[in-house]
Amino acid sequence: MTNVTVVGSQWGDEGKGKIVDWLSERAEIVVRFQGGHNAGHTLVIDGVTYKLSLLPSSVVRKGKIGVVGNGVVVDPWHLLKEIAAIREKGVDVGPHNLRVAENAALILPLHGEIDRLREEARGSAKIGTTGRGIGPAYEDKVARRAIRLCDLFDGPTLDAKLEELCRHHDALRKGMGFEKVDRVTLRKQLQELAPQLAPYADSVWPFLGDSSKAGKRILFEGAQGALLDVDHGTYPFVTSSNTVAAQAATGSGMGPHEVGYVLGITKAYTTRVGSGPFPTELTDSIGRHLGERGHEFGTVTGRARRCGWFDAVLVRQTVRTGGIRGIALTKLDVLDGLDEIKVCVAYDIGGKRYDRLPAAQHLQAQAAPIYETLPGWKESTQGARSWAELPAAAVKYIVRIEELIGARVALLSTSPERNDTILVEDPFAD
């Protein structure tokens, strides 16, 4: 058996929550390895809906251990709030089934403040950040001035690091006409948090290494999507971390060989939240139809998602940069009832055909989709649990997508319900 890494192959919101939950029944440990509480996963289990943004999806299942890896930036207030909310729904969450990397960098109130100030200052050039401080927290981590979880448990270390951090942020805030950081209040807040967080703090890399040696199945749970990767995404309209599967190793403290089978969650059409290029975006009645049928609103932000046809060029690109072996195709039922369905197979940029999306921002903005048109289907695919239950045109659509992106469909999701899933290739049975 192998470990499995789940990543988004588009701009996020592909339906990772359901797939991770479906796979977590067979995994013993689920690891978050990047991002922060800007990513939302919705799980529906026995009629109960759970909305998670920082906790690993395994927390709602008995006997599973969730790990928040060192690659995640952690808002400690949000972490405790999310734990409390899950407990209110009858879920047992504690140090016995949740571990947080002691070397994870923290998101503080000053990070959210500077994040929102910057986004407001950008005006029409907004990146589309959630304003939750993820980007500034990663900046401080890379600049070696971050407060890490382990720092909360040593007063002198915390005081010295807070002074350096606040000195930097004071200069930024002054330039934007904002008051200095209230050091006394922030120090008191962190002091109050320390005993609440201490039971969860752990050196997770040896725990994961020992678990893997013992034959435990580990599921690495990614946030956002590969097109939001800070290196391989549509820069600068990206998140502040690496979202591709390679980060599963770095963000958890395990070796690259432990990443295992890489499963790319892929929506049967394309959506995006916030600003940035979107070659196949539809602003007509079909785009509205996709948004309404797919309930395309952000779990965290509540913002309506932009919708468009499936972009095979971009998914083919993320299959290669992300090391994706198989995809889990979601929301096929949203396409039910359409007379025809289009798939982007290339771009026209200034009269030249491109089979990839160039890195240059001005070229990305000019990319016009070149479409291939496939017949739609009138029958319903919702709830199908075998290939035999799918319309012939739907099967043809799936096969064509496989050909265009260079990866096979390992799983097919036909509704938000976890059991409405067709298994083609078992990621854990490598």
CA pair distance 163, 39, nearest whole angstrom: 30
pLDDT at position 52, please? 87
- pTM (2 decimals)? 0.92
Q: Is 330 helix (H, G, I), strand (E, B) or coil?
A: strand
Q: Which residues of the chain have pLDDT under 70?
A: 1, 124-128, 298-302, 430
Choosing from 13, 115, 229, 420, the catalytic residue is 13
Radius of gyration of the chain (CA): 22
- Told to judge if 41 belongs to the known catalytic residues of this protein, a careful annotator would answer yes
Contact between 316 and 404 (Cβ < 8 Å): yes
Contact 5, 27 (CB under 8 A): no
d(CA 23, CA 4) in angstroms, rounded, equals 9
For the question of residue 13 being annotated catalytic, the response is: yes
Question: Residue 142: its pLDDT value, please?
Answer: 96
Q: What is the dihedral of CA 294, 296, 298, 302, to 10 degrees?
A: -120
pLDDT of residue 303: 75
Q: Which residues contact 223 (CB under 8 A, 6 or more apart)?
A: 8, 12, 16, 32, 34, 35, 36, 38, 39, 243
Give residue 264's pLDDT. Answer: 97
Angle formed by the axes of helices 155-175 and 183-197, to 10°? 130
Tell me what pLDDT residue 61 has.
86
- The alpha helices in 222-326, defined as continuous H runs, are 247-250, 285-293, 312-321
User: Could you say which of 37, 41, 169, 232 is catalytic?
Assistant: 41
Q: What is the pLDDT of residue 253?
A: 96
Identify the residue whose tokens are 């892929």: 266
Cα–Cα dist 424/60, whole Å: 26
